[in-house]
Amino acid sequence: MSAAQYARLVPKKYRSRTLPKIDRPWRPRVIAWAGPAAFYPNRFYEIDKWYKARIDKPEKLPEMHVIDPANHMRSLSELMKKPEIDQIDIGFKKREEVVKAEKSAEDRVELERKSRHMQLKIDISSLASENLQVYRHFRVFDDLFGENVFFENVQKLDVAFQDHHLVHSGNILTAETTVIAPEVSIESVGKGKGFNTILMVNLDGNATEKRGELIHWLISNIPDGEGIQKGEEVMKYLQPLPFYGTGYHRVAFVLFRHQEKVDFKIGGGSSLEERVHSISDLYKSHESQLTPSAIRFFQTSYDKSVKTTLHSLGLKSPLYEYEYRQALKPAQREFPEKPQPFDLYLDMYRDPKEVEKEILEKRLAEVKLDHVEEPEWIDPNWVENKKTLPAWQHDRILERRGVGNAKYHNDL
């Protein structure tokens, strides 16, 4: 109904005080508020048929870590503790524990006083038992023989590299001290009967596609009570080779006892790939003959001796870099929702190596070779520049003295 028809048909006293609403066809007004996205060629439907003209597609964030309410109050030691029922002992029976001597009240008071004053000394070598928690913490047993497998140290094993660098339970030794084969001393427990086998293996040194661990030294069939010189050198000694960028490597010495001579039937290890063998498979193939009796391990990292040894073998020294996860950042837009300086916004999407190169060049440009007097004022026209110059350009002026962007002013 038009306005004229409404005025002719409806008397004045019955007319509405407001203008009548006119039913008109719907007119698209998306372009008036959609912004630049309205002019995209495929603004209405994308591949997933998302309506782009009205709202933007929400960003998918990675799933958050769900905390178990039943376990979040437990301590780290409780979470890492494994049930003893699942532990499998593949070694000899542990020696009888030393009976603790009863001490009087006066002795206890004296021991407590020495302990408080840091005067109480304990000879670790005289202890009959050894704690295996260090080996479990570093997963030495798990990576050697499998999950939940262990054995007790029932035979004394001493390993010492040059300059009296002993191997204990996870101590750190430099790779340079392991260039020469160590001196090994094995306790005689068979009264001249039986044989010993010493195995030196790097649990983290396998850089090939072959499954297993890197064997650095293997001497078998050592007569009980004799030195390692009386044994058969199945694989010649090779110093540990922790490559650059791979961190600390765990190198273990494992001692086996057996009654008869054992033929391992493995190569001499002329190349690194021939030295890679699965220790668990090697042990299972001779499980009826071998029984582990002692273990020691140390940690080592890269130094120049590794490069020298690799070159002597005709190999190049590889370099490894850690690949960090990409930072969670929104998709790059022409008009971002959160306003910020455009140079910092663009740095988020640049190649990190290119940004680090630019930072290094600016830091090196600021290095002073001679004594130069700095001006008394950093920016004499600070108030005027703050009002007239853009934020990014004013920040460049303040960078010289470290007032601006702090990322260019780390200590060299």
The residues spanned by each domain of the chain are 1-58, 152-312, 342-408
- What is the average pLDDT value for the chain, to the nearest integer? 80
Instruction: Give me the pLDDT at residue 52, please.
Output: 45
Instruction: Give me the pLDDT at residue 379, please.
Output: 82
pLDDT tens figures, 188-215: 987 878 999 999 999 999 988 889 999 9
Instruction: Give me the pLDDT at residue 19, please.
Output: 63
Report pTM. 0.61
One-letter amino acid at 379 equals D
pLDDT of residue 124 exceeding 90, the answer is no
Instruction: Give me the pLDDT at residue 39, please.
Output: 55
pLDDT of residue 26 exceeding 90, the answer is no
Stretch 383-404: mean pLDDT: 76
Stretch 38-54: mean pLDDT: 50
Confidence of residue 4 (pLDDT cuts 50, 70, 90): confident
- Percentage of residues of the chain with pLDDT beyond 70: 76
CATH node for 152-312: 3.90.280.10
The CA–CA distances, whole Å, from 341 to 353, 367, 383, 395 equal 21, 27, 19, 10
Whether the Cβ atoms of residue 214 and residue 238 lie closer than 8 Å to each other:
no
pLDDT tens figures, 359-379: 888 878 777 666 666 667 778
Higher pLDDT, 23 or 6: 6
- Counting Cβ atoms within 10 Å, is residue 333 exposed (0-12), middle (13-18) or buried (19+)? exposed
pLDDT tens figures, 304-347: 999 999 999 999 989 888 877 877 888 888 888 887 778 888 88
pLDDT tens figures, 142-185: 999 988 899 999 899 999 998 889 999 899 999 999 999 999 99
Q: DSSP 3-state helix, strand, coil percentages of the chain (rounded to 5)?
A: 30, 15, 55
Which residues lie below 8 Å from residue 179, measured CB to CB, with a gap of 6+?
A: 162, 239, 305, 309
pLDDT of residue 41 exceeding 70, the answer is no
pLDDT of residue 411 exceeding 50, the answer is no
Higher pLDDT, 270 or 97: 270
Neighbours of 86 (CB within 10 A): 9
Instruction: Give me the pLDDT at residue 31, please.
Output: 44
